[in-house]
């Protein structure tokens, strides 16, 4: 592993400290120039992008299927409870294994998924809102994939649509939370401040830690990626993943 130029590391560290200080100032309301947006403003902006419509349409279709499939069984309530419980772990695994995938060659072919490429671009410019969303091509491809998996793992139509409704509710929650974290909305609740700081550290301190998005200190604690920030050196590739151009 090549050594990092001390001057470069110092410059990156200084930039990260300034960014984190500015973020903290926005949280506490002590920033000299406040650029915060209201919840109404960020909500309106959210619906100017294709992702909410794709997820919303999929959710409406899943709800319609669930209603038409009949009352179902009481045990189906375990489906949303179980998916909600494992969501931080799934989120962590996708972030680490897919979003931070390093391009590789296999049988002469370069394996570099669209999600990975878009995520590198997102790290390069965290303030560019269109890059915050899951690519529309991926969301479209997930429609038949999710339906096929739900059909395979559930015994009834009602259970299948219960699973799909839950999946699209959780995907929508993820998309909204991630968008909100990168918007100009200033966090107010204690929960959102914790999640906001966690995600800021991932983008401005080190890309090797703090992978959860909708929670803070859950799956990251489980997998050992939630260290004390003061003990973590600022990564020189935090905005240029794998030292690659996106």
Express each pLDDT in 135-153 by its tens digit: 999 999 999 999 999 999 9
Pick from 208, 212, 184, 186: which is nearest to 199 by CA?
A: 212
Instruction: Name the phi and psi angles at 206, rounded to 5.
Output: -160, 130
> Cα–Cα distance between 190 and 154 in angstroms, integer?
38
Structural domain that includes position 103: 35-187
- Name 105's bridge partners: 110
Residue 128 lies in a domain: yes
pLDDT of 103: 94
Residue 122 lies in a domain: yes
pLDDT of 24 higher than 50: yes
Whether the Cβ atoms of residue 49 and residue 129 lie closer than 8 Å to each other: yes
DSSP 175-210: HHHHHHHHSSBPP-SHHHHHHHHHHHHHHHT-TTS-
Residue 78 lies in a domain: yes
> Cα–Cα distance between 115 and 102 in angstroms, integer?
11
Please give the residue that has the higher pLDDT: either 246 or 195: 195
End-to-end CA separation in angstroms for the chain: 22
> Cα–Cα distance between 95 and 101 in angstroms, integer?
9
- DSSP annotation of 130 reads G
Q: Which two tokens stand for residue 52?
A: 């909410």
Count of domains forming the chain: 1
Please give the residue that has the higher pLDDT: either 27 or 210: 210
Whether the Cβ atoms of residue 55 and residue 188 lie closer than 8 Å to each other: no
Residue 242 lies in a domain: no
Neighbours of 80 (CB within 10 A): 16
pLDDT of 223: 97
DSSP 115-164: HHHHHHHHHH-TT-GGGGSPPHHHHHHHHHHHHHHHHHH-SSHHHHHHHH
Pick from 191, 226, 230: which is nearest to 209 by CA?
A: 226
pLDDT of 99 higher than 70: yes
pLDDT digits (tens, 9 = 90+) for 171-190: 999 999 999 999 999 888 88
Residue 168 lies in a domain: yes
Full-model pTM: 0.85
pLDDT of 4: 52
Whether the Cβ atoms of residue 9 and residue 233 lie closer than 8 Å to each other: yes
Pick from 66, 43, 68: which is nearest to 165 by CA?
A: 66
Residue 235 lies in a domain: no
pLDDT digits (tens, 9 = 90+) for 63-88: 999 999 999 999 999 999 999 999 99
Residue 163 lies in a domain: yes
Residue 91 lies in a domain: yes
pLDDT of 186: 85
pLDDT digits (tens, 9 = 90+) for 31-62: 444 467 899 999 999 999 999 999 999 999 99
């Amino acid at each position: 592993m090549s050594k990092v130029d001390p001057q470069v590391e110092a410059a990156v560290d200084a930039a990260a400290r300034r960014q984190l200080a500015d973020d903290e100032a926005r949280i506490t309301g002590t920033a000299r120039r406040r650029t915060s947006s209201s919840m109404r403003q960020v909500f309106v902006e959210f619906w100017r992008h294709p992702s909410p419509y794709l997820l919303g349409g999929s959710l409406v279709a899943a709800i319609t299927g669930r209603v038409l499939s009949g009352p179902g069984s009481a045990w189906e309530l375990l489906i949303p409870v179980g998916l909600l419980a494992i969501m931080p772990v799934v989120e962590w695994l996708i972030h680490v294994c897919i979003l931070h995938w390093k391009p590789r060659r296999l049988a002469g072919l370069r394996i570099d998924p669209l999600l990975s490429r878009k995520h590198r671009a997102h790290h390069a410019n965290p303030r560019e809102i269109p890059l915050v969303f899951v690519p529309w091509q991926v969301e479209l491809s997930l429609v038949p994939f999710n339906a096929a998996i739900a059909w395979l793992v559930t015994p009834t139509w009602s259970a299948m649509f219960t699973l799909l409704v839950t999946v699209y509710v959780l995907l929508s929650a993820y998309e909204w939370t991630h968008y909100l974290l990168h918007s100009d909305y200033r966090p107010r609740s204690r929960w959102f401040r914790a999640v906001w700081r966690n995600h800021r550290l991932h983008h401005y301190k080190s890309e090797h830690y703090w992978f959860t998005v909708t929670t803070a200190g859950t799956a990251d604690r489980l997998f050992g990626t939630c260290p004390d920030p003061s003990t973590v050196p600022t990564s020189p590739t935090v905005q240029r993943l794998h030292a690659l151009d996106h």
